[in-house]
Amino acid sequence: MSVQLDEHRQLLADRKRVDALSRAIAAIVAPGHIVLDVASGTGILGLLACRAGASRVYCIEQSGIIELARELARANGFADRMNFVKAPSSWAEISEPVDAIVCDQIGHFGFEAGIVEMIADVRSRFLKPGGRIMPAAITLHVAPIELPTLRNELNFWTTPVAGLDVSPAATVAVNSGHPLSLSPDALLGPSAPVYVIDLETVVDEPIHFSGSLIVDRRGTLDGIGGWFVADLGAGVRMTNAPGDPDRIDRRNVVFPIDPPVNVRPGDNIEVSMRIRPSDLLVHWVVTVRNGEHRSSHSTLRGMLLTREELHRTSPHFVPRLTPRGDARRTVLALCDGGRTLDCIEREVFGRHRSLFRDYSEAQVFVAEVVTRYTN
């Protein structure tokens, strides 16, 4: 089975999620509205907008799932009202301003699936004055977490494997956010709302917040758990909060601390986070009992960046095209509005024959370039 298709099956099978989105769209989309569905996937939000009376819906999606979305639009009788744009949202263009923008790229913690940069961009380019955005706002929540399973996974890297030292991986593990489904039993104390992303005004810039958490039971602090509560508009909310009766089927995220800290009721935990949403960079500092224990981590240290990649991003690096890069430049130069694809394929195969085992490989190479950079 297609992994991508199964991912969307799970999203559509989440009845609480679909019900919340359906109720919100029915409330904010009026007959005759023009709607933009960003990162539309199967087009479910666009279909719901059509059902609510939208006269036109623009669905922007960069993956191949867009072809299925076209079929679903046809199967539900909305093909004449739904327009599909296959492109990253920042590259996409539509022909008219819209009354509403809908999107569910919220992620586990409220920002990491791209919603901040997507909405900031399309809102400025396409939304009419006074237009609506769904979700209107996303509130980030954090809580102190005890999770022995996570602790065991982190400790794995401190133990030799077949007599070999694997401990360098421990640094990566403790500087990564871990998507996990948290139960209420994992919480060492009540959660706190720490930041509101207002999607009607948000711009793609760093997020910073600090908050205080109070421990209400004895245990071991393994990290800070995070989740979201999304205001979809018209009084409709959607959340993945542990224990919430309306919780959707979406994991949370845990930011570990190293080493874990034994805590007792009444202990104060200070949490500070700095987030760069578009780069998925999170820096978290956790302080227990007024500085008695302090832990600082960053996903920058958890990224598997190679020395080759870092070398090529140095301001002093002098780039030079590889043979395949030169062949890609040839493809782009031949896309002059006059040559057919067949002509370009034969020309590229002739000029760069040493790169390809046969003509079919050249065809695949050209297709990868033209499908991304031409229309």
| Structure confidence at residue 204 as a pLDDT band (50, 70, 90) | confident
Q: What percent of the chain has a predicted confidence (pLDDT) above 90?
A: 91
- Measured CA to CA in angstroms, residue 300 lies from 106, 176, 177, 181 at distances of 21, 9, 11, 24
Is residue 290 scored above 90 in pLDDT?
no
Is residue 1 scored above 80 in pLDDT?
no
Q: What value does the mean pLDDT of the chain take?
A: 95
Is residue 161 scored above 70 in pLDDT?
yes
pLDDT single digits (tens) 329-354: 999 999 999 999 999 999 999 999 99
Distance CA 288, CA 306 (A): 34
pLDDT of residue 291: 82
pLDDT single digits (tens) 60-101: 999 999 999 999 999 999 999 999 999 999 999 999 999 999
Distance CA 371, CA 298 (A): 36
pLDDT of residue 280: 87
pLDDT single digits (tens) 350-371: 999 999 999 999 999 999 999 8
